[in-house]
């Protein structure tokens, strides 16, 4: 089986566009700075990867994403639709096994991606659960549209809904370690304290 494509979903670092829940507590500019720091931390952890795809939104933001590229890495727009539609499209376009992570989980280590890739050798799917009820990583050997349909994104039920759909589809799923996504003031403060 080929090595899975590693895809990181990123947003253009624009005040008012990123970390809106955190911005409610610290303001748009500070939340944008926080987003930059989070993304740069995640990408620094993954720097040794020879191939990685940064999938960005909005679609016209490539020039804002290019500074995060490293040698051998590529960019591609996420395209239209909700988060589920955009993730499903990324899995289709990967044309093989793929792993998607976001850019707001600074605890992600290169070893997590290696574990996820190894897991896909024996399972249909791998998911990294987040403390907020969502997930920080999802990997699939083949696209499965049902996993991304009818999900209430940015809610505490995302992981459970996804696991239920995976079971309904007959997929074998392995969970990774639980990590914290930084979305609000509390999770940001906890991250800064580490």
Alpha-carbon distance 36 to 30, whole Å? 10
Position of tokens 């930084």?
Answer: 182
Q: Which domains does the chain have, with CATH numbers?
A: 5-193 (3.90.550.10)
Calpha distance 84→89 (Å, rounded): 9
Cα 56 to Cα 8, 42, 88, 97: the distances in Å are: 8, 15, 14, 20
**pLDDT of 188:** 64
Beta carbons of 32 and 15 less than 8 angstroms apart:
yes
Has residue 142 got a pLDDT over 90? yes
Mean pLDDT, rounded, for 151-167: 94
pLDDT higher than threshold 90 for residue 191: no
Question: d(Cα 139, Cα 97) in Å, to the nearest integer?
Answer: 7
Q: Please give the distance of CA 99 from its chain centroid, rounded to a whole number.
A: 9
CA 192, chain centre distance (Å): 20
pLDDT digits over 29-48, tens only?
999 999 999 999 999 999 99
Read off the pLDDT of residues 110-127 as tens digits, 9 standing for 90 and up. 999 999 999 999 999 999
**Is residue 57 pLDDT above 60, yes or no?**
yes
pLDDT grade for 190, boundaries at 50, 70 and 90: low
In the DSSP assignment, the letter for residue 121 is T
The tens digit of pLDDT for each residue in 63-81 reads: 999 999 999 999 999 999 9
Tally of CA atoms within 13 A in the half-sphere of 22 that contains its CB: 25
pTM here is 0.94
Phi, psi values for residue 52, rounded to 5°:
-155, 145
């Amino acid at each position: 089986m080929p090595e899975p494509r590693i895809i990181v979903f990123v947003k253009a670092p624009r005040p008012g566009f990123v970390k809106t829940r955190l911005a409610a507590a610290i303001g748009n500019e500070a939340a944008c700075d926080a987003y930059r720091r989070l993304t740069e931390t995640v990408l620094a952890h993954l720097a040794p990867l020879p191939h990685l795809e940064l999938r960005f939104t909005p679609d016209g933001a490539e020039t804002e994403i290019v500074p995060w590229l490293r040698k051998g890495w590529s960019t591609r727009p996420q395209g239209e639709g909700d988060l589920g539609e955009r993730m499903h499209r990324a899995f289709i376009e990967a044309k093989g096994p793929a792993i998607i992570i976001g850019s707001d989980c600074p605890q992600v280590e290169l070893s997590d991606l290696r574990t996820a890739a190894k897991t896909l050798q024996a399972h249909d799917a791998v998911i990294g659960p987040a403390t907020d009820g969502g997930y920080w990583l999802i990997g699939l050997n083949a696209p499965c549209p049902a996993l991304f349909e009818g999900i209430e994104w940015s809610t505490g039920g995302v992981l459970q809904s996804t696991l239920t759909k995976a079971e309904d589809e007959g997929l074998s799923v392995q969970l990774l370690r639980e990590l914290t996504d930084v979305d609000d003031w509390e999770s940001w403060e906890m991250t800064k304290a580490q």
